[in-house]
Amino acid sequence: MKQRVREIIEAALVRAHEAGALPSREFPPILVEEPRVEAHGDFSTNVAMVMAKIQKMAPRKIAEGIIDHLADPGGVLLRTEIAGPGFINFFIAPAAWPPVLEEVHEAGDRYGASAMGGGRKVQVEFVSANPTGPLHVGHGRGAAVGDTVANILAFCGFDVRKEYYINDSGRQIRTLGRSVFLRYTELLGRTVSFPEDCYQGDYIRELAGAIHEDRGDELEKETEEAAVAYCARRAAREILSGIEADLEVFGIRFDRWFSEQSLFDEGRVDGAIADLKDRDILYEKDGALWFRTTDHGDEKDRVVVRGNGQTTYFASDIAYHRDKFGRGFHRVIDVWGADHHGYVARMSAAVEAMGIERERFGVILVHLVNLLRAGRPVAMSTRAGEFVTLREVVDEVGRDAARFIFLTRHYESPLDFDLELAKQKTNDNPVYYVQYVHARISSIFAKGEEEGTIAGDDLTSPNPDLLTEPEEIALIKALSRYPEAVENSAALLEPHRVAYFLMSLATLFHAYYNKHRVLTETADLTRARLYLVLAVRKVIRNGLSLLGVSAPDKM
RNA sequence: GCGCCUGUAGCUCAGAUGGAUAGAGCAACGGACUUCUAAUCCGUAGGUCAGGGGUUCGAAUCCCUUCAGGCGUACCA
């Protein structure tokens, strides 16, 4: 509908110019918005004010010229008015709304989908937690955001791949190996002093126990280096498969798990370094190899190969991102914890230095999660091994509630996740509020079938024009806004917009439900209302599925 | 010190690209279940959009500045 209004305005501008009412034919992009105040109409535009300078006319005068040349062949406009400093307000004829329902029904599962992506390949890399311990709630937030952003982009016509980058090389993995090996030697009856910088969690003992069970004391016969390496490899593999299982429970499946170690094994790190050196993007200083990131906006150059010959984490990341773009992704989106924000400038600089336009690389910084229980903070420290895992949270509060909570805040806002609140079935926890709409509508259909008034979802020749109640028009208006909500969500990479849309749609539905009956004495009216609520159910289910939340028929 | 993020009702949070009178939930108070699910609805009350300056027809939104909280500032990952 908004699009239709925009077209009407565009046509009026051209006609007004041709008729001499507007001197310049230079028109700005037309902004059509939905005013907060009902008295200002269904839509309004500020074009007249924006054009004042170009046209060298008073805004209200321009507005008059536009209104005089409005054509409305479809008869959607009830009336228009000029208001305030030069707004043009449009009031839509109530009868113009019900036909919108046909669009919802025709598109079905695809309602709200768009072609904005044009099939371009996009990669979303998220979670990518080191395989040194189980996932915690913070990872869960990143997982929910990354997964949903990817879903929404795919829905908007991008060819999306979800990827998990495994940091299976480097010091943390060696530390993991050392931690497990030490616990293992403990099991052999030795007393060891367990260093503070090793991983303290109980899961380390479990991993050591499993190795002890399989291999007995065999590892003792190997060199310590080999034994530690074995422990590291094996522990990382097992932790990773635990992570994969936890993500599966959380409703997330990756298209690809990408190993950092493979970059070394296949010579991609060396390859990237050699290439960048040839192009004079890397230079030597003080025995180290540096990247000229300052040429691309970073505050200082960064080391890629240290004086001792070891590559930095940055080196792997350069090789990794080079590989990503080499795979033909038009756009690459990384989802990181906000504590890595200091890394964004250098990574962006590196990408740009490799000849890739800056807009093609984006980082979503997901802010931290404070885990609470009934208002009190729950201690969280990976190293000390005191933390609540994502799995425990999902087991306790449920996948739907957990995902929804992560997605009802902007990712740049710190999040308090209260376990007790998350279990409550109140409106402080709106996932149930939204799901309840779906259940209620399903229940209406169940009742209708039971009474024999309808058969399944099959509504023969409904007449939407019978939907004249203000609550019905309000619902239809809301449904018509869904595609735009999804597009905005995709354009801004902000999944919470879909969640908020669903909550507001739910509010309108519950109000309608409480005031009017769907199954009435009049067959025509019943069919029309079923047609409406079925459209609502489709959109609720559609939106929830983007968020990775289930749409239950019963609650 | 410098950089990034955050600051909106008692609490938790929305308010993209600057628009007209600032929004929701929770909590508080008062109402609505013989009905298609009350996990719901209706109403009342609640504000110096952290403070100050600026830009303009118009600022929660853009710019400058102060304050508060978080994070980051390695030849760590």
Residue A394, pLDDT score: 92
Return the exposure string of A34-73: e unless at least 16 CB atoms fall within 10 Å of the residue's CB, then b.
eeeeeebbbbbbbbbbbbbeebebebbebbbbbbebbebe
A174-187 pLDDT, tens digit per residue, is 889 999 999 999 88
A468 shares its domain with A538: yes
A32-43 pLDDT, tens digit per residue, is 888 877 778 889
Nucleotide nearest A130, CA–C1', reads B77
Rounded distance in angstroms from the CA atom of residue A416 to the C1' atom of nucleotide B12: 8
Residue A181, pLDDT score: 93
Q: Residue A54 is part of a domain; what is its CATH number?
A: 3.30.1360.70
Asked if residue A361 lies in contact with residue A351, where contact means CB atoms within 8 angstroms, the answer is yes
pLDDT higher than threshold 60 for residue A321: yes
Residue A384, pLDDT score: 58
Report how far residue A76's alpha carbon sits from residue A72's, in angstroms, rounded to the nearest whole number. Answer: 7
Report how far residue A29's alpha carbon sits from residue A27's, in angstroms, rounded to the nearest whole number. Answer: 7
Instruction: Provide the positions of strand B that have an atom within 7 A of a protein CB.
Output: 2-7, 12-17, 19-27, 32, 35-42, 57, 70-77
- Any strand B atom closer than 7 Å to A40 CB: yes
Cβ atoms within 10 Å, residue A155: 25
Residue A322 neighbours by CB under 8 Å, 6+ apart? A268, A272, A354
With CA atoms as reference, report the closest residue to A197 among A210, A213, A182, A185: A182
Q: Which long-range contacts (CB under 8 A, 24 or more apart) does A375-381 make?
A: A375/A418, A378/A419, A380/A136, A380/A137
- Share in percent of chain A as helix, strand, coil (round to 5): 55, 15, 30
A350-407 pLDDT, tens digit per residue, is 999 999 998 899 999 998 888 888 777 776 665 555 678 899 999 998 999 999 999 9
Rounded distance in angstroms from the CA atom of residue A50 to the C1' atom of nucleotide B67: 37
Residues A305, A311, A312: CA angle, nearest 5 degrees:
95
pLDDT higher than threshold 90 for residue A81: no
- Report the complex ipTM: 0.92
Judge whether A46 lies within some domain: yes
Strand B proximal residues, A:234-263, Cβ < 7 Å: none
Residues A325, A318, A300: CA angle, nearest 5 degrees:
125
Residue A436, pLDDT score: 93
Show which of A43, A59, A93 is a domain's final residue: A93
Asked if residue A162 lies in contact with residue A333, where contact means CB atoms within 8 angstroms, the answer is no
Residues A344, A347, A351: CA angle, nearest 5 degrees:
135
A517 shares its domain with A448: yes
Judge whether A455 lies within some domain: yes
To the nearest whole percent, how much of chain A has pLDDT over 90? 50
The protein residue nearest nucleotide B58, judged by CA to C1', is: A85
Q: Hey, is A83 helix, strand or coil? A: strand
Rounded distance in angstroms from the CA atom of residue A460 to the C1' atom of nucleotide B40: 30
Nucleotide nearest A484, CA–C1', reads B16
pLDDT higher than threshold 80 for residue A124: yes
Residue A521 amino acid letter = E
Strand B proximal residues, A:110-139, Cβ < 7 Å: 130
Rounded distance in angstroms from the CA atom of residue A494 to the C1' atom of nucleotide B3: 24
Residue A380, pLDDT score: 62
A463 shares its domain with A508: yes
The protein residue nearest nucleotide B3, judged by CA to C1', is: A342
Rounded distance in angstroms from the CA atom of residue A353 to the C1' atom of nucleotide B71: 27
Residue A261, pLDDT score: 92
Judge whether A521 lies within some domain: yes
Judge whether A253 lies within some domain: no
A38 shares its domain with A109: no
Instruction: Provide mean pLDDT across the span A59-85.
Output: 84
A58 shares its domain with A110: no
Nucleotide nearest A310, CA–C1', reads B75
A109 shares its domain with A79: no
Judge whether A141 lies within some domain: no
With CA atoms as reference, report the closest residue to A333 among A368, A342, A344: A344
Q: Which domain holds residue A450?
A: 100-116+430-547
Judge whether A499 lies within some domain: yes
A467-517 pLDDT, tens digit per residue, is 988 899 999 999 999 999 999 999 999 999 999 999 999 999 999 999 999
Report how far residue A55's alpha carbon sits from residue A226's, in angstroms, rounded to the nearest whole number. Answer: 79
Q: Residue A465 is part of a domain; what is its CATH number?
A: 1.10.730.10
pLDDT higher than threshold 90 for residue A84: no
Show which of A59, A93, A127 is a domain's final residue: A93
Cβ atoms within 10 Å, residue A517: 11
Judge whether A525 lies within some domain: yes
Strand B proximal residues, A:41-60, Cβ < 7 Å: 41, 44, 46, 49-50
A61 shares its domain with A84: yes
Mean pLDDT of chain A: 88
Residue A148, pLDDT score: 95
The protein residue nearest nucleotide B12, judged by CA to C1', is: A428
Strand B proximal residues, A:179-198, Cβ < 7 Å: none
Biggest alpha carbon distance in chain A? 97
A243-291 pLDDT, tens digit per residue, is 999 999 999 999 999 999 999 999 999 999 999 999 999 999 889 999 9
A411-463 pLDDT, tens digit per residue, is 988 888 888 888 887 777 889 999 999 999 999 998 888 877 776 556 777 88
Strand B proximal residues, A:75-104, Cβ < 7 Å: 83-85, 87, 89
Residue A118, pLDDT score: 92
How many domains are contained in chain A? 2
H or E stretch covering A235: helix A224-249
Residue A207, pLDDT score: 93
Judge whether A179 lies within some domain: no
Rounded distance in angstroms from the CA atom of residue A475 to the C1' atom of nucleotide B64: 45
- Any strand B atom closer than 7 Å to A340 CB: yes
Strand B proximal residues, A:412-471, Cβ < 7 Å: 412-416, 425-428, 430, 432-433, 436, 439-440, 442-444, 446-447
